[in-house]
Amino acid sequence: MVFSDLFFLYIFIPAVAICYALARCGDHARLKAAANGNAPRYANANLCPYSNAVLIVFSLIFYAWGEPIYIFLMIASVVMNYIVGLFIGRKKQTSKPALIVGLVLNIGIIAVFKYADFLVDTLNLTGLGIPKPNIALPIGISFFTFQSISYIIDVYRGEVKAQRNFFSLLLYISMFPQLIAGPIVRYSTISEEINKRTINFNDIAEGSFRFLIGLGKKVILANQLSEISSKFLDGNLAAVTTGGAWLGIIAYTLQIYFDFSGYSDMAIGMGRCFGFHFDENFKHPYIARTITDFWRRWHISLGSFFRDYVYIPLGGNRKHQPLNILIVWFMTGLWHGASWNFVLWGLYFGAIIMLEKYTILKVKDKIPAVFLHLYSIFVIVFGWVIFYFDDFSRLGEFIPILFGGGKAGGWDAVVQGELTGNLWLLIAAIICCLPIAKIFSYLYNKSESRESAGQEAVLTGLKTLCSVALLVVSTFLLIGSTTNPFLYLRF
């Protein structure tokens, strides 16, 4: 099931919302009864067992909807990590071996289910002729495996306690808002909220607003932009002009941001409605002035995962830093897909970040911001070229077109038509890459030191209008369209 689907929006969400609300009432009644002494005091500290049960059941339904068989793999992975976590937390002597076993198993799962075919293909390049295992990629495996890894490492490091309640751990891994396309939520971020959380109107209002923003990003922007990008990038490249190549890859640049950050917004928003506070995954990455800065703003949960669990343990910037950077970016690339173009894409950014350390980062305050932005945008857009084409022959065909080396010339009526035909969409998309909310509140607060009642009413009115419009427009655009899976479901 994907979030941007009528069935999810209008059947799944109401069902989970109603059950969750009833479960919250049950939890409250149970607490009240316990406080009055009419019920036995519970030994464990789980203050919301009913609402957790509802979330687990719906999360399993959500996952089984797309993966009726691999759901058992996901549950098995949770069972394994639960046991490993207990062993790590129990005694010092068992913790290290347990961690190693846990890491081997987690990495083994992802290696088999995500990279087996790729590995065989690569080995076969040497003429081995090993038959391909043809294993289908379980949805979200990259995300839930990484969450599991972060959990067992954090327990090993003593940063969190091992979860003794299996269902609480199952909830952490399987919680449907973040199960299949992130963000990669750290166990420490929500460990307390799993068993004890409060939800007020503000949470639900903020969460719903965030969800709708994400829905709009996906349905109104990303889906429309994908039509432009696929026209120029999926077709016969011999017929693509230089203008078409740029328009196509710029549309894809915008599309992938709105697609992925839209999903994260929806996940964060839904989490908030259920009482969880996930960390931000995107911070307006396209306003970055350097590539180093870009990677602090793009898919933050993945970047920080590699930083905390790979880069720093390897020695970080203390010893053999270039090698550490190389390893981290090789893995970042490979995480995105079982194909060499993703590895190349990762190494491309690794190399640029390394270069920046010795060049731009040292003098960036002396360079006008506009040049830094232009440089960053160019590097990012070119990065998406490498990312897009998993077929190297097409990549090799496309790059010369970008720089005027195509057979079809520079510009034609098709590019002209696509550009003018989507001009407002492109402008709106570029504006939406900017931190609008920050700019708005800056302008708003500049005039008044405090919010008056009238201002609050205006703001609420605007927010309401905006939310209803996002919901209505997105629904219309979803009617009759085929399912548009999120790009990051592939990873």
Partner 1 sequence: MKQQNSKKYKEHTSKRRKTSNIVYLTTLLLAFEAIGLSLIIFPRSTVSITEKRELKTFPELTADSYFSGDFTKQVSEWFSDTVPFRDELTNISTAIREIRGFRQDGIRLHNVGTLPSTSDESSSSSTSTSSSESSSSSSSSTSSSSSSTTGSESTHESSSSTSEQKKDDPEIQDHLNITNNGIAVVGDRALMMYGGSFAVSERYAKVMNKYKQAMPNVNVYSMIIPTSCEFYSPASLAGYHASELDNINHVNSFLQGVTPVDAYSALAAHTSEDIYLRTDHHWAPLGAYYAAQAFAKTAGVPFLDISEYDREVVHNYVGTMYGYTEDIVLKNNPEDFVYYVPKTVEYTTTYYEYELSGGKIVGGRPAFNGNFFVRYGDGNGMAYCTFMGGDSQIVKVKTNAGTGRRLAILKDSYGNALPGYLFGSFDEIIVIDMRYFTHNVVDFLTDNGTTDILFANNSFHAATASTVTYYETFLTQQDWGYWIVKEWEDSSETAE
Annotated catalytic residues are 336
Residue from 120, 230, 344, 411 in contact with partner 1 (CB under 8 A): 230
Residue from 275, 422, 432, 491 in contact with partner 1 (CB under 8 A): 422
Residues 338-397 that bind partner 1 (CB under 8 A): 388-391, 393-394
CA-based diameter of the chain, in Å? Answer: 82
Query: Under rule CB under 8 A, how many of the chain's residues touch partner 1?
Result: 88
Q: Report CA dihedral (280, 285, 287, 288) to the nearest 10 degrees.
A: 110
Between 108 and 421, CB nearer to partner 1: 421
Q: CA–CA separation, 489 vs 388, rounded Å?
A: 15
Q: Which element (helix H / strand E) includes 51?
A: helix 49-66
Rounded to the nearest angstrom, the gap between the alpha carbon of residue 434 and the centroid of all alpha carbons in its chain is: 19
CB 63 to partner 1: min, Å: 11
What stretches of 312-391 show up as alpha helix (H) in DSSP? 312-314, 321-335, 340-358, 360-363, 369-388
One character per residue 424-443, x = contact with partner 1 (rule: CB under 8 A): xxx-----------------
Q: CA–CA separation, 302 vs 283, rounded Å?
A: 13
Query: Which residues have a Cβ under 8 Å from the Cβ of 214 and sit 6 or more positions away?
Result: 3, 261, 262, 263, 264, 265, 266, 267, 268, 269
Residue from 205, 310, 312, 361 in contact with partner 1 (CB under 8 A): 205
Residues 251-270 that bind partner 1 (CB under 8 A): 252, 259
Q: CA–CA separation, 40 vs 62, rounded Å?
A: 34
Between 118 and 388, CB nearer to partner 1: 388
Contact between 326 and partner 1 (CB under 8 A)?
Answer: no
Between 232 and 282, CB nearer to partner 1: 232
DSSP-based three-state secondary structure for 159: coil
Asked if residue 368 lies in contact with residue 289, where contact means CB atoms within 8 angstroms, the answer is no
CB 414 to partner 1: min, Å: 4
Asked if residue 243 lies in contact with residue 415, where contact means CB atoms within 8 angstroms, the answer is yes
DSSP-based three-state secondary structure for 129: coil
Residue from 208, 354, 377, 402 in contact with partner 1 (CB under 8 A): 208
CB 58 to partner 1: min, Å: 14
Residues 269-308 that bind partner 1 (CB under 8 A): none
CB 150 to partner 1: min, Å: 28
Residues 231-250 that bind partner 1 (CB under 8 A): 231-240, 244
Contact between 463 and partner 1 (CB under 8 A)?
Answer: yes
Q: Which amino acid is at 363?
A: V
Q: What are phi and psi of 252, to 5 degrees?
A: -70, -35
Asked if residue 277 lies in contact with residue 183, where contact means CB atoms within 8 angstroms, the answer is no
Contact between 481 and partner 1 (CB under 8 A)?
Answer: yes
Q: CA–CA separation, 22 vs 4, rounded Å?
A: 25
CB 254 to partner 1: min, Å: 13
DSSP 32-50: HHHHTTSSPPPSS--S-HH
Contact between 483 and partner 1 (CB under 8 A)?
Answer: yes
CB 17 to partner 1: min, Å: 10
Between 237 and 302, CB nearer to partner 1: 237
Structure tokens at 46: 């789980």
Residues 390-419 that bind partner 1 (CB under 8 A): 390-391, 393-394, 412-414, 416-419
Residues 57-116 that bind partner 1 (CB under 8 A): 64-69
Between 65 and 375, CB nearer to partner 1: 65
Contact between 445 and partner 1 (CB under 8 A)?
Answer: no
CB 484 to partner 1: min, Å: 4
Contact between 476 and partner 1 (CB under 8 A)?
Answer: yes
Contact between 475 and partner 1 (CB under 8 A)?
Answer: yes
